[in-house]
Chain A
Amino acid sequence: IQMTQSPSSLSASVGDRVTITCRASQSINNYLNWYQQKPGRAPKLLISGASSLQTGVPSRFSGSGSGTDFTLTISSLQPEDFATYYCQQSFTTLMYTFGQGTRLEI
């Protein structure tokens, strides 16, 4: 299953509302996760099951979608949100492929 994110990069300002899109090459129901990665660090799980926010993740992050089309929304960007975001499908047993990433820049 191929995962395609858009855009590949995005410039935004503190306080902006930002949406990142992820499309699967076939239906994955809601088996879609979002990760945040900062330079030199391991990825951090933000959202699983397309819309379930992980414990400790700020509520300005939200996810939606099902089937093939998904979105990650950050309602009001904070300085610490500037990072790279990846979607991941978990529909195929233990072969959890990633999108190519979206770099969010100031």
Chain B
Amino acid sequence: EVQLLESGGGLEQPGGSLRLSCAASGLIFSSYAMSWVRQAPGKGLEWVSGISGDGDNTYYADSVKGRFSISRDNFRNTVYLQMNRLTAEDSAVYYCARESGYRFDHWGQGTPVSVSS
């Protein structure tokens, strides 16, 4: 059974940094691209960033480009999201998702991020 478990969320001040992790199990991790999707309180889903299975290709939404960085460790079966220069607009639940066949077929339970002074 595929399981994705996010961690690393919490309360951070504006301008600060956080690193989210998503630990995967039950899959051949390096075979799958992974993405981060966020959802601000009471709002819809926003795709944030994606990374290819080998880690060579990364993609970002305009709203986070230059501030966020996605990476992965295929030995640890983990994908990361480094978030810098955080603003209140980055407050959201952050989900990691597995991409398979042009769709996100497995999701984690999410980790909440709150940016406030």
Contacts and interface: CB of A to CB of B under 8 A. Distances in A.
Contacts of A98: 37, 44-47
Interface in A23-68: 31, 33, 35, 37, 42-45, 48-49, 54
A90 interface: yes
Given A33-B103, A96-B47, A96-B104, A42 B59 contact: no
Contacts of A94: 33, 35, 50-52, 57, 59, 99
Interface stretch (B10-18, B80-88, B107-115): B107-115
A51 to B, nearest CB: 13
A87 to B, nearest CB: 10
A92 B46 CA distance: 15
B105 interface: yes
A11 interface: no
B44 A90 contact: no
Interface of A: 31, 33, 35, 37, 42-45, 48-49, 54, 84, 86, 88, 90, 93-101
Q: Across chains A and B, which 3 residue pairs bring their CB atoms closest together, nearest first?
A: A94-B50, A90-B102, A42-B107
